[in-house]
Amino acid sequence: MTDGILLYQRLEECTRAKERLSDLLDAYDDALPQAEHDYQTTRYERYLLLLERYGTTTAREIVRGEPEVAELRMCRDRLRCKRQTAGRELVWLTGEQGLIRDEMAREYGRSFNQ
């Protein structure tokens, strides 16, 4: 019987972790469009200023190194990376829940995949 309780506790822990990750993913999904907008807008504004002075090809290369543009790109890329990592962890937890349910089914002789 103790094994069953431990399995149930593991299942509950997975469920709580998935809920936290889901909330975190929602926050990333809200923040990413704004980060993308800030980066693209600032990059384009800087590009237009540099375009007059250096020409198309050179301005395109220089704008990437502008401190403000580079900082905004780094923020956007970090958010994307965190979003992807949280998404992969959510998928892993979903698989873990399936394994726990399978163990519970073997323990009690009935299906828990609901």
Candidate from 2-6, 43-47, 69-73 with smallest mean pLDDT: 2-6
Q: pLDDT-based confidence at 14, cuts 50/70/90?
A: very high
Question: What is the model's pTM?
Answer: 0.78
Mean model confidence pLDDT for the chain: 91
Spatial contact of 28 and 79, defined as CB atoms under 8 Å apart: yes
Helix (H) / strand (E) containing 86: helix 67-108
Taking only the tens place, the pLDDT of each residue in 33-42 is 999 999 999 9
Find the mean pLDDT for residues 70-93.
96
